[in-house]
Amino acid sequence: MSADVQGKTVHYTESKTPPGGSATTKKAYLIGGQEYDVLKGKVGPVEADSVIWTMWPLDLETMLAMGAPGAAATGTETLDRRNAEVYEMAGAASTISGATGLVLPASSIFGKVWDDQQTGALLKAVLDYQADGKDSSGDDQGTGSGHLEITVTQVGNVTVSLPK
């Protein structure tokens, strides 16, 4: 996943290649609090089964809340010519659920997040986690692992608008 950010306006791109499958790319926009998908070359409102990750704000608080019990500031680094505070997460994770209905039932989380010192925006997250899967009735269906990598690029250097 990558995102171009202009203030609170964001252009998301998500690329996936499932094991044994072919690559797919999804694009979405967050403009003026409205979320838009690009489906078959046309811009429209976000559909429920399309790119649900647009409902997840790219903010530091969300990332750090996931690993709150084991999150610690570890210094500063420069990413994409921006000074960033670095936080490492190691250990138990918090379960997050919000108004959007997104629930992250992680039982452990390890990795780093980078916070832009100037804007407070999330610049990057590289996280490995263990999560408990549940069915729609809330019954346990097993445990699995995952990897999340988010990179926000060109902060302050792009103009984001809907394609015509």
Q: Where are the domains of the chain?
A: 1-55, 56-155
Q: Where do we find the tokens 């990558």?
A: 2
Q: What is the signed CA dihedral for 76, 77, 81, 84, rounded to 10 degrees? A: -40
Q: Check if the beta carbon of residue 96 is closer than 8 Å to that of residue 69.
A: no
The pLDDT value given to residue 78: 95
The pLDDT value given to residue 84: 94
The pLDDT value given to residue 133: 74
For 98-103, the CB contacts below 8 A with 24+ separation are 100/55, 100/56, 101/55, 102/52, 102/55, 102/56
pLDDT per residue over 36-65, tens digit each?
A: 888 888 888 776 555 545 445 555 666 666
The pLDDT value given to residue 161: 85
The pLDDT value given to residue 98: 42
The pLDDT value given to residue 64: 62
Residues in the chain where the model's pLDDT stays below 50: 52, 54-55, 96-103
